Structure 1
Amino acid sequence: MQSAEAEDKAVVEAARAGDEAAFAGLTERYRRELRVHCYRMLGSFDESEDLVQETLLRAWRGRETYQARATFRAWLYRIATNACLDFLDHTVRKPLPTELTPAASGYLAPLPAVAVPWLQPYPDKLLEPAAAHDQEPPALAVARETIELAFLAAIQYLPPRPRAALILRDVLGWSAKETALLLETTTASANSALQRARAQLKEHLPARRADWGPATDPSEEERVILQRYMTAVTSADDAAIGALLRDDVRCSHQPGAGGHDGPEPTWYSGLDTVLAGWEPALHGPHALAFRMLPTRANGHPAVATYIKWPSESGEFAAFTLNALLVVEGKIAEVVNFVPAVFESFGLPKTLPA
């Protein structure tokens, strides 16, 4: 694993010797990509922030152990991976079992992203500086594909060490020998873990890989669809909403997102079912007034939704963050996250009436 930017040996040596300014400057260069790495390992933006801090603390305490056999960047990735593995070894959590729903064909994964209850969206504004140092198109494609919600959810079904092996080999491009050394196993065992991880990953990804990744730069079509979606919802225009959604659209909610307060995530599919599910919030005695702000999450358009009762004169309160999957000019999936994620997107908690 090499960095395209040559590391200044004098700066690295100063950092190793205990120069705090040199260490801070050197590690800050890699903070954002380390956060993306931890996010892939853990699926949680908040936890990735914490584990990057843990990584840098471990690196500072163990700075004298760096022997320059690899780049300082690669050394930090080793520390970050081990920090994530330690965290996962002491954290008991499981996605929903796959037998809850049959595998879907076409655009959608066997289970929606919210079947991983701890999954959080990642703000696009924090992704660009973390793109691969190797700016060749294949490297960029891998970087974008492996930040998709579908990939992030699917990889959480893998045991921690096979998950690490897959990320190190298929995302970061480490060799089998480097991966085995980090995981403290043989090269044959590391290769075997990788093959098992690849096979298991396929069980949880959408059937047609081209429909979920890699993500591309925002297209004009996506911008138009996003604006039409916000206009349709805020004006409670059922016909306009229906025209934007695919017939096999799926809507899913984390617990506490979009008014779904049960202990388990929920999801439903089909145009008529989705419109019926949204009807109480849009019409009738319990209808809400909506305000929306556009954003992007995990390489796709997203909307921050705020609500209040029409009779109220106060502010609009944060309600849910909707991540949208656009396929062939229509919305194929709406994933609803709790308003706690607004902070990481730099979104306000309220909007004026």
Structure 2
Amino acid sequence: MWSDNRKDDGDKLKDARKKNFSGPHPLGERERLFDIGVRDQPEDSALDANELTQLMAAMRPRLHRYCTRMMGSAFDGEDVVQETLSNAVAACSAAGEILHPESWLLAIAHHAALDALRRRKRQGHQESDEALANLTDHGAQADARVAATASLAMFLHLSVVQRSCVVLADVLGYSLTETAAILSVSVPSVKAALHRGRGRLRELVGVSDAALPRLAEADLERLRAYAERFNARDFDALRDLLAEEVRLDLVSRARLAGRKDVSVYFTRYAESIGCSLSLGWAEHRPVLLATDPVVADAGVAYVILLDWTDDDRIIAIRDFRFAPYVMESLTVQRL
């Protein structure tokens, strides 16, 4: 569950780009297959699962950058990334050669994000789909800087197609043709969506986010006590806080359920010297900010989320230690 053997993502991606992968297009629509480089013909050779694993590991930070901005949340974006990878594994179990695996995987991520947005709407959330007036274009480089500095919440003010195009073109650096292929739309449609989406982001940049909500004193004290016990290495006390049905998501590494299995989580941290926790706020909820020299030399290395029962037992732990790419899209404040 716990290992710090890391390979440079750039090296992984270079290796993965040399491979072809088998599997049907996630949409199951024949007319779109060649748009993203998928041959609709079975191959004699079976899919190499190790190559797919390598591709997914190398692409995961890029997938997160895309899904995060589609969802307007680094945490929800990671949920979509996990769904994307699960869908990719299922799709690759069938025959068919994929000529452009990066585009194929991003197409799966795009549709996973659309599914998540539809679920969000059904749950009562609303996405902005307003008509925008034509705005003067200030150049691709300037627009890329605007998109890179825009907060996640700002992307939710763009329609879904505008959001997709701006993230692919201005954040991830894909060409108009590549963006059109991934989204299965025309290049003129991409240009129009970019024009309107970039204009809307320029209007929003500089608008301050909502003020930091006030955390209830009881919630603050509960988090503070957890951090103090963690920093004192009193992990037995933390184990005592676990509910019987507690769930652990060690993002990008492992998932465990049940008090007995999750208790191992603290054993691993007991062996990790130098890691300490403090209180913070991110995406409208309290978080634990981890300083960990194994993961990052300075500053907040990653965050940990805790959910509690009504009787102050820990019901869920979501630890981003092995997903440091999340911090790129996450704005945190210390409490």
TM-score, reference length from structure 1: 0.45
TM-score, reference length from structure 2: 0.47
